Amino acid sequence: MQNTKEKILWASIKLFNEHGVANVRLQQIADEIGISVGNLAYHYRNKEAIVSSVYDILFEDFGHILSQYLQSPSFADFDRQILLYFEFFKTYQFYITDLFSMEHALPEIKAEWQLFMNKMILQIRTRIDFHINRGELVSETVQGTYNLISESIWMTIVFWIPQQTMRNKPVTETRFRSAVWNHLKPYLTQKGLDTFEFSLPVLSQN
């Protein structure tokens, strides 16, 4: 059972996704959960306080995903993390418009985003190193290739849902996972291919 504060936050997330953070008024949020603006103001003194609390939840969720790094030494581990990213970016779709808004009401949010994004790229790059050491990915022939691939994977994870929405294409988790794995597939060794087919049979058929 959600309390009023949680209801306000989840209604805000829903409205932010639909209309963008800048376009949502307190009255809309209050209407969404059927309370008065006065009651809403009792819990959150203004919209900035709501946005700040929404980002607190968002960053906590993101921190949780990052903490799932290499729980087990298999491709399935990365796949689990990819799925978590998919759920995350689907739940908080408003991030894309808000992230690129010219003047953000809370500049510390931008700084926090940058930190998280850099950590995410670093994780992807280190995970590639891990699989190279296990002989599942080929060693780098041209220096910097895997740095570029890490950034491409990151771009796919972060921007895949908005680009699919923009192109009016279906947003499904299998397509999302395939889009990410397709970056790595050409670099799999024979051992990597065998492991991939064994641990992720659904994706290896695509």
Partner 1 sequence: MAQRFQMDENMYHHLLGRLNELHQTDKRGLLKDFDFFHNDLWLADTAVVEELTRHKGEWQVNLVFAYTVNPMRFIRRQITSYSCPRKATLFSSLMRRLAAKDQRGTQEIRISSIFVCKN
Q: Which is nearer to partner 1, 52 or 97 (CB)?
A: 52
Residue 133 one-letter amino acid: N
122 binds partner 1, rule: CB under 8 A: yes
Helices (H) and strands (E) in the chain, counts: 11, 0
| Interatomic CA distance for residues 65 and 88, integer angstroms | 9
Q: Which is nearer to partner 1, 55 or 181 (CB)?
A: 55
Q: What is the closest distance, in whole angstroms, from the C-beta atom of residue 126 to partner 1 in the complex?
A: 4
Counting other chains too, the contacts that 43-47 makes at CB distance below 8 Å and 24 or more residues apart are 43/4, 43/5, 43/8, 44/5, 44/8
Query: How big is the CA angle at 51 (ends 66 and 161), to the nearest 5 degrees?
Result: 50
Q: Binding partner 1 by CB under 8 A: which of 69, 99, 171, 175?
A: 69
Are 147 and 53 contacting, i.e. CB atoms less than 8 angstroms apart?
Answer: no
The residue count of the chain comes to: 206
Phi, psi for 62 (deg, rounded to 5): -65, -40
Q: Which is nearer to partner 1, 62 or 181 (CB)?
A: 62
118 binds partner 1, rule: CB under 8 A: yes
Each residue 80-109 as x (binds partner 1 by CB under 8 A) or -, in order, gives --------------------------x-xx
70 binds partner 1, rule: CB under 8 A: yes
129 binds partner 1, rule: CB under 8 A: yes
155 binds partner 1, rule: CB under 8 A: no
8 binds partner 1, rule: CB under 8 A: no
Are 24 and 16 contacting, i.e. CB atoms less than 8 angstroms apart?
Answer: yes
Give the residue from 43, 47, 51, 48 showing the smallest Cα distance to 13. Answer: 51
18 binds partner 1, rule: CB under 8 A: no
Q: Binding partner 1 by CB under 8 A: which of 27, 133, 139, 145?
A: 133
Report the SS3 class of residue 167.
coil
Q: What is the closest distance, in whole angstroms, from the C-beta atom of residue 103 to partner 1 in the complex?
A: 17
115 binds partner 1, rule: CB under 8 A: yes
110 binds partner 1, rule: CB under 8 A: no
Contact residues: partner 1, CB under 8 A: 52, 55-56, 59, 63, 69-70, 72-73, 106, 108-109, 112, 115, 118-119, 122-123, 126, 129-130, 133-134
